[in-house]
Amino acid sequence: MKRTYPDYYDDFVCIADKCPMTCCAGWQIEIDEDSLKNYHKKNIETVDFKHECFFQDRDKRCMNLNEKGLCKLILEHGEEILCNTCRLFPRHIEEFENVREYSLSISCPEVAGYLLKRKEPVTYRTVEDDDVDSESYDDEEQAVYRKLYVLREAFFKIVPDRGLSFAEKAGRILAIAREFQSGMDYILINGDDIESLDVEGAIGADYRPLDITVEGRYELFKVMKKWEYTGDEFKDVLKVTEKALYKASGSDAEGLAQDMKNALSAQGIAPNILTEQILHYFLYIYFCGSAYDEYYFGQAQLAVAACLHIWDFAMAHFKVHGAISLEDIIYFTYLYARELEHSVPNVLATERYMDEHPLV
């Protein structure tokens, strides 16, 4: 079994009551079978056994949270009491045959902060052990995964190239993913062998830098209005952003973007490195997983869209407040990831929307 980890994986430490968000607020936490049995035995009153989750209060906060934001279950019973969801978060695992890819979710403020504060590109370490996967996998999906892995390696050469603008990186990645998608669609329709797909040809696909108009950006923004939300905080950010960027007359989007970049640079923050980290993150976690849903181009688009969405929030904030800090961008990043990453309906709505409104 191969296990791959980003280089910062082992450094993560939960900051518990110092966390500005806590992972137990807003989400309905699903409880695994073994934990349910244990909770039943211990007669834990905060468990909704019918729906296999914890009860929430009126503010959608887990009923186990005390006023300091600490988990009462841990305080009373120790860490062993935690269900899989709570024990693992913010760790995320993507599984393929004899390969496990580990990551930390940027919906955790501590992880988002770590990632966006680092200047150097993320690297990965792979360890191999003698374990053999006992799961059974679909051969075709795993053949596609191996191809996607090669594409993602190509992306990982493009993304950290600091000689390229975001528009160039996005343009190349989207062109490669689109070429791969049409090749795969052809193979699936005609029943051809997946191995016949020319991955190197896709990597060499012609591209143009991503050139998205304000109208196009607004279209992209609108997908977030179709999402379900964990609370009002994100809805408020959407309202402010829409009003500042897309409803105000006479906006100079390019001038605003440049002013914000200058404001960040004056604080020693490189805007291109922020988008590099976000793009890299989404490609690492989700691109190869498209082996299971065939939205290869959709997943590449989602990674680019995430950068543009988060950037929109930052620009609106800068326009409204006349200032922007790294902490603001970290906040928008984890807030965005909280709404998108842990909601299957939101991911599906975005994938569908990107299918109907492709970026290139």
Query: Which residues are at the interface with ligand SF4 (CB under 6 A)?
Result: 14-16, 19, 21-23, 89-90, 108-110
Report which DSSP code applies to 333. Answer: H
Distance CA 304, CA 309 (A): 9
For residue 269, the minimal CB distance to ligand SF4 (Å) is: 22
For residue 229, the minimal CB distance to ligand SF4 (Å) is: 17
For residue 90, the minimal CB distance to ligand SF4 (Å) is: 5
CA atoms within 13 A on the CB side of 355: 11
For residue 7, the minimal CB distance to ligand SF4 (Å) is: 19
CB closer to ligand SF4 out of 19 and 143: 19
Strand-pairing partners, residue 126, are: 4
Could you tell me the two tokens for 180? 């791969």
For residue 261, the minimal CB distance to ligand SF4 (Å) is: 29
For residue 104, the minimal CB distance to ligand SF4 (Å) is: 9
Of all residues in the shown chain, the one whose CB is closest to ligand SF4 is 19
CB closer to ligand SF4 out of 47 and 62: 62
Distance CA 121, CA 115 (A): 10
Could you tell me the two tokens for 205? 């696909």
Residue 254 CB coordination number (10 Å): 9
For residue 288, the minimal CB distance to ligand SF4 (Å) is: 24
CB closer to ligand SF4 out of 63 and 205: 63
Name the residue with tokens 């991955």.
199
Distance CA 200, CA 198 (A): 6
CB closer to ligand SF4 out of 12 and 156: 12
CB closer to ligand SF4 out of 22 and 350: 22
Count the residues in the chain: 360
Could you tell me the two tokens for 37? 């049995």
CB closer to ligand SF4 out of 22 and 290: 22
CB closer to ligand SF4 out of 109 and 171: 109
Strands (DSSP E) found in the chain: 2-6, 47-48, 53-54, 91-96, 99-104, 124-128
Could you tell me the two tokens for 129? 């052990």
- Whether the bond into 90 is cis, omega within 30 of 0: yes
CB closer to ligand SF4 out of 27 and 227: 27
For residue 26, the minimal CB distance to ligand SF4 (Å) is: 11
| Contacts of 269 by beta carbon, 8 Å cutoff, 6+ apart | 326
Amino acid at residue number 82 = L
Checking DSSP bridges between strand 91-96 and strand 99-104, what pairing results, if any? antiparallel
Strand-pairing partners, residue 342, are: none
